[in-house]
Amino acid sequence: MRIAIWNVNSLKARLNKVRWWLDRAAPDVLLMQETKLADTDVPTEAFAGAGYEMAHHGEGRWNGVAIVSRVGIADVVTNFGQPLGRARTEDTGDDEPLAEARMIAATCGGIRVVSLYAPNGRVVDSPFYYAKLDWFERLAGWLDEAADLSDAFVLGGDFNVAPADVDVWDPRLCHGGTHVSRPERDAFAALERRGLIDAYRRHQPKPGRYSWYDYRAGHFHKNYGMRIDHLLVSAPLAERVCWVEIDREARKGPPIPSDHAPVAMDVDAPGRPFDAGWAGALERIAARTRVR
């Protein structure tokens, strides 16, 4: 089984790109984040035509998470099993994450999967930053309450945290800012202490490979990125994972790309092969660096 995650940064804007990638990589389960759609606006027919069921949890302008699967969807839970509260500041995002569509879970092909979109945090020591830390505490509490980590379990999506300096292009520029601050990294480490394993880092120890790149200033072509999209898996499932990769080619256009690249892992047996584009890209980047 191939399970993938992808912050699509608007499913409406990126639907053709997502359909392209489903054909390219043939995931059995795709966990999407930042769909930016209300549940009534989800293009379920487009996914059904490609052989996928869909479960979606959205609110409209911001956030939104989804699971698409061709191996079934059962026992759906959203927002940690609680109804979304009404936001007190409806024109502001990220400050009330428990009133925002950021978490959906389901069982697909015998594996419990969770698609999550953590708050950005914006600026260290801001109200958005502390709301992000509170949201991670709620996530950790839900894992203790409702997750069976002795079975096959995946916590996947955009965590908006780079767990270590190796996960950013230049720790001197990032250190102390949001996504890399010590409290955020501690919140991520708290998930790992519960028994979850970073599937990508277990299989790909090399530095210099990232899942997110700013659209501005040619950051993608310079490989100035961050690894903030993660597949955390339970120990029993970790032993079944045989391959994990970030698809750098999907960060390119056309169609219009997201600022995130999908991350995919294979469980039990390899899925459809594709060239993620890292070898050639890193050679070109290294060559440009030598010229300078």
**CATH label of the domain that carries residue 156:** 3.60.10.10
Residue-wise pLDDT for 257-273, tens only, equals 999 999 999 999 999 99
Give Cβ neighbours of residue 43 (< 8 Å, ≥ 6 apart). 11, 12, 15
- Residue 206 and residue 62: Cα distance in Å, rounded? 34
What Cα–Cα distance (Å) separates residue 133 from each residue in 52, 55, 80, 194, 233?
34, 27, 16, 17, 21
What domain range is 192 assigned to? 2-291
For the beta carbon of residue 88, count every other beta carbon within 10 angstroms: 9
Tokens of 292: 């300078």
Instruction: From 230, 229, 210, 228, select the one nearest 220 (Cα to Cα).
Output: 210
The band of 286, judged by pLDDT with boundaries at 50, 70 and 90, is confident
Task: Give strand pairing partners of 243.
Answer: 266
What pLDDT is recorded for position 283? 78
Give Cβ neighbours of residue 222 (< 8 Å, ≥ 6 apart). 169, 285
Mean pLDDT over residues 203-208, rounded?
Answer: 94
Residue-wise pLDDT for 93-130, tens only, equals 677 898 999 999 999 999 999 999 999 999 999 999 99
What pLDDT is recorded for position 251? 97
Q: What is the DSSP string of 151-164?
A: S-EEEEEE-----S
Minimum mean pLDDT range among 108-117, 176-185, 235-244: 176-185
- Residue 31 and residue 67: Cα distance in Å, rounded? 5
Q: Please identify which residue in the block is written with the tokens 């979606």.
A: 56
Give Cβ neighbours of residue 245 (< 8 Å, ≥ 6 apart). 204, 263, 264, 265, 276
Q: Please identify which residue in the block is written with the tokens 């992808």.
A: 6
Give Cβ neighbours of residue 112 (< 8 Å, ≥ 6 apart). 105, 106, 147, 148, 151, 152, 153, 154
Instruction: Answer with the residue of higher pLDDT: 164 or 290.
Output: 164
Task: Count structural domains, the chain.
Answer: 1
Is 70 exceeded by the pLDDT of residue 288?
no
Instruction: Answer with the residue of higher pLDDT: 11 or 94.
Output: 11
